[in-house]
Structure 1
Amino acid sequence: MVDLVLRSRRAVVADGERPAAVSVAGGRIVAVDDHDARVDAAEEVDLGDVALLPGLVDTHVHVNEPGRTEWEGFATATRAAAAGGVTAIVDMPLNSLPPTVDVDALIVKLAAARGQLHVDVGFWGGAIPGNVGALPALHAAGVYGFKAFLADSGVPEFPPLSPDQLEEALRAVDAQFVVHAEDPGHLHPAASSPAYADFLASRPPDAEHAAVATAIAAARATGRRVHILHLSAATALPLIERARADGLPVTAETCPHYLTLDAAHIPAGATEFKCCPPIRDAANADRLWAALADGLISCVVSDHSPCTPELKRQDTGDFAAAWGGIASVQLGLPVVWTAARARGHTLADVVSWMARRPAELVGLAGKGRIAVGADADLVAFDPEAEFTVDPVRLHHRNPVTPYAGKVLAGVVRTTWLRGRTVTGDAPRGVFLTREGS
């Protein structure tokens, strides 16, 4: 007898979307059968036409705890993730205090997170000036790789690397490096203004283009793996395409807001739309979608980067003074699905972008897929249902979102973590560490 069997006429499994019965025992998937297969199970759930997806994997989440827990925390971030169908996240090394730049800081973060996790959580380390000697030990402690900035991060305790320092860090440890690619030489001081166009002009596409070129040059010089974070400027895509054609281990991601929001429609003073790099125009988004479709961009992740409402400067609407970050870990799936289906993409496409490929990026072999042997991290997702985004129903700590009032398609009905329903009451998430650590 298995513990649970889930039946759906729209299960997204290894060979695409089809009717299936998924059996779970001991927290893992033990069979993927035809929809009507007879299964001796302690519990059976028939989802009908509600889709069954693998739990999403979000490799770009800023939890901010400890140190800036008033911005976000492990309990609230992971509860929001589960509500959005995300069953595994990888936490960024900033904006917590201390940042995760050495083993001691990782230990502090683990202690802060213990007992609070509603989904599984892994960690990135950070590469900053002066910590190159700490990187091998931090990698051995289980982080999935290292994040580096090429421009100001927004917090003083996590300064950027120069091109030479980035190359030095890559040579220090054979690890996945993920790079915030904006070049400081192409950024301009943003004038105090409620006009989004003024902020956008301060971070032109050339800044991303130049920094992507720097990151690729470091990958070419060292042979190390480099992943371009939250790609916004489509003008950098030919650089990535050329690098991949040359056989370099270079990959890229983008985010829901770059795919679905349009700079031309951001109201004056609407600082909830501010992020870095910035949201650009609809034609740029079209090119990002095309890159997703052909695999040049491998995955879509949230870059969940919340703060307090006060730091968003909603009182003045000043884009220059506002914190740059969008909190969207709970909404990424319906945001992307709403836009993807309008463009003719399938649920299987969305699962590839938001579950399978992020899991592959960090080597989470048991996540992001419905297959025998994988963790039974599963999501009942009603792709035809619609809802209006109400900020008070979001689970992240501060209910600020650029999606407020938007009508989205796709409702997460239930999330299972290793075969057990996530209720938001009893944290059962575990720490994830890199295999071989």
Structure 2
Amino acid sequence: MPDLVLTADLVLVDGAFRPASVVISDGRIERIGTVEEAPADAVRLAPDEVLLPGLVDTHVHVNEPGRTEWEGFATATAAAAAGGVTTLIDMPLNSIPPTIDVPALEVKRDAARGAVLVDVGFWGGAVPDSLGRLRPLWDEGVFGFKCFLAPSGVDEFPHLDRARLAAAQDELAAFDGLLIVHAEDPDVLDRAANGGGREYPAFVASRPEEAESTAVDAVIDGLRRTGGRAHVLHVSAAAAVARIRAAKAEGLRITAETCPHYLVFDEAHIPDGATQYKCCPPIRDAANQDLLWAGLLDGTIDLVVSDHSPSTAERKFAGDGDFQVAWGGIAGLQFGLPAVWTEARRRGVPLETVVDRFCRSTADFAGLSTKGRIAAGADADLVVFAPAAPHRVAVEELRYRNPVSAYVGHDLVGEVRRTYLAGLPIDSAEPPRGRLLTRP
């Protein structure tokens, strides 16, 4: 007998919605059947609900250990589950120590073990001191290596200059490792620096599109030379999208992501002093946002991920609204799907297209072939979503350690009502059941 059968009029299977029953045994999907085949004790979704695969978020800063007061595995995975995310991959910073060698990875795993409500994997870090020593981390199962091409914001994770970027690409190409890149050029940023202050347009001017496109050009040059792989993180600039599109047409092994905040918010609607919207690279104007959507829909941008990067409220609002002083990161892990769906619906983009970029595309990018899909043999990680339910985000519902988010007060359409991990509903009151993942 199956452990659970879920049935609904709208189940996302093979990229399309249809009536189906999902039969679950031993934490996996045994088969997809018809609604008529469902047993009497099947759990039937409400008429306004659809069944989706669990989201896979490959860009999350958990910050534990070392800066657990900013977030932590318990609170981050609780927020993930509330947002329909059943798998996340943790960035190698802003934890202390950063995940730049095998001992640091073990420290990170020890902090996460027994504390995660969803499945969690780990990125390694490529910093100047770790170059030449990346293979042991790869062999220990990290999903790839993150680098910055401009200062990261934390001293213990320095950036790579051009020579070290080339060295990292050479080293990773030798074993087909993946480099994931925060692509902003420090020389461009230095030239664009200004006095800061509370005016949001001044902050945007201090991190121009040219900083992204110049850095992406350097990554592409390395791919031409080595034949290796690279992924561009949190693309915010249309100029960078154009570079990535051309590189893909050339046959280079490059992928890219963007984030909900770039697809939902725009410069004109960010009030001066509202540093809850600060991120690097910044949220740009509406015309740029239109081009990001075009890149997402034509496949140039492969993924939508949160880049969840929280801090304490004191750091996020430091400087009394001065965008140059406040911490640069948006807490978005809990509301990415409804936020993007709200904007997609306005643009006439179907829900199945949105979900694909959050689920199958992210799972395939990470090599997690049993995640991000409703199919026989896949993990029974599932989300019950009400796509027409209105929702105003309130501080009281935030699951983050620090209840600060750019989404507070915004009216969204779509609500995550239940999240299943390995066929069981996630309940934060029960012992955590999340697994620690290694690269397949």
Q: 1:242 to 1:315 in 2, by over 3 A?
A: closer
Query: How much does 1:341 deviate?
Result: 1.2
Match for residue 79 of structure 1?
A: 78
Match for residue 18 of structure 1?
A: 18
Query: How much does 1:190 deviate?
Result: 4.0
Q: 1:207 aligns with which of 197, 211, 214?
A: 211
Distance 1:249 1:242 in 2: 12
In the TM superposition, what whole-angstrom CA distance separates every residue of 1:349-388 from its partner, at most 9, and x where no partner exists? 1111101101111100110000000000000000010111
SS of structure 1 residue aligned to 2:6: strand
1:433 equivalenced with 2:438 (yes/no): yes
Alignment of 1:64-143 (within 5 A): 64-143=63-142
Q: Is the 8 A contact 2:200 2:267 kept in 1?
A: yes
Distance 2:101 2:202 in 1: 38
Distance 1:80 1:134 in 2: 34
In the TM superposition, what whole-angstrom CA distance separates every residue of 1:124-157 from its partner, at most 9, and x where no partner exists? 0000002122210000001000001000000011
In the TM superposition, what whole-angstrom CA distance separates every residue of 1:147-185 from its partner, at most 9, and x where no partner exists? 010000000111111122122112223211110000001
In the TM superposition, what whole-angstrom CA distance separates every residue of 1:320-347 from its partner, at most 9, and x where no partner exists? 1001000000000100110111111112
Match for residue 289 of structure 1?
A: 293
Match for residue 303 of structure 2?
A: 299
SS of structure 2 residue aligned to 1:24: strand
Query: How much does 1:15 deviate?
Result: 4.2
What RMSD, in angstroms, separates the aligned Cα atoms of the two structures?
Answer: 1.2
Distance 2:166 2:319 in 1: 42
Distance 2:83 2:5 in 1: 22
After TM superposition, the structure 1 stretch with the greater mean CA deviation from structure 2, 108-117 or 188-197, is 188-197
Query: How much does 1:112 deviate?
Result: 0.7
Q: 2:405 aligns with which of 380, 401, 408?
A: 401
Distance 2:152 2:129 in 1: 16
SS of structure 2 residue aligned to 1:402: coil
Match for residue 165 of structure 1?
A: 164
Q: 1:181 aligns with which of 180, 183, 186?
A: 183
Q: Is the 8 A contact 1:12 1:347 kept in 2?
A: no
Distance 1:384 1:258 in 2: 22
TM-score, normalization by structure 1:
0.97
Distance 1:47 1:115 in 2: 33
Distance 2:263 2:196 in 1: 27
Distance 2:89 2:223 in 1: 23
SS of structure 1 residue aligned to 2:132: helix
Distance 2:32 2:46 in 1: 15
Distance 1:239 1:324 in 2: 25
Alignment of 1:222-261 (within 5 A): 222-261=226-265
Unaligned runs of 5+ in 2: none
Query: How much does 1:35 deviate?
Result: 2.1
Distance 1:20 1:329 in 2: 29
Question: Aligned partner of 2:334: which letter?
Answer: Q
After TM superposition, the structure 1 stretch with the greater mean CA deviation from structure 2, 238-247 or 30-39, is 30-39
Question: Aligned partner of 2:311: which letter?
Answer: C
Q: 1:164 to 1:39 in 2, by over 3 A?
A: farther
Q: Is the 8 A contact 2:204 2:284 kept in 1?
A: yes
In the TM superposition, what whole-angstrom CA distance separates every residue of 1:280-300 from its partner, at most 9, and x where no partner exists? 001100000011111110110
Question: Aligned partner of 1:5: which letter?
Answer: V
Q: Is the 8 A contact 2:98 2:104 kept in 1?
A: yes
Alignment of 1:377-388 (within 5 A): 377-388=381-392
1:328 equivalenced with 2:332 (yes/no): yes
Distance 1:110 1:172 in 2: 25
Distance 1:171 1:335 in 2: 39
Between Structure 1 and Structure 2, how many residues are aligned?
A: 434
Match for residue 145 of structure 1?
A: 144
Distance 2:387 2:317 in 1: 35
Q: Is the 8 A contact 2:7 2:21 kept in 1?
A: yes
SS of structure 2 residue aligned to 1:104: helix
Distance 2:246 2:229 in 1: 15
TM-score, normalization by structure 2:
0.97
Q: 1:389 to 1:38 in 2, by over 3 A?
A: closer
Q: 1:197 to 1:126 in 2, by over 3 A?
A: same
1:198 equivalenced with 2:202 (yes/no): yes
Q: Is the 8 A contact 1:191 1:199 kept in 2?
A: no
Question: Aligned partner of 1:66: which letter?
Answer: P
Alignment of 1:25-36 (within 5 A): 25-36=25-36
Distance 1:276 1:111 in 2: 30
Distance 2:198 2:121 in 1: 37
Match for residue 54 of structure 2?
A: 55
Q: Is the 8 A contact 2:392 2:410 kept in 1?
A: yes
Q: Is the 8 A contact 1:6 1:47 kept in 2?
A: no
Structure 1 residue runs of 4+, over 6 Å off? none
Distance 2:354 2:422 in 1: 21
Distance 1:139 1:214 in 2: 24
Question: Aligned partner of 1:342: which letter?
Answer: R
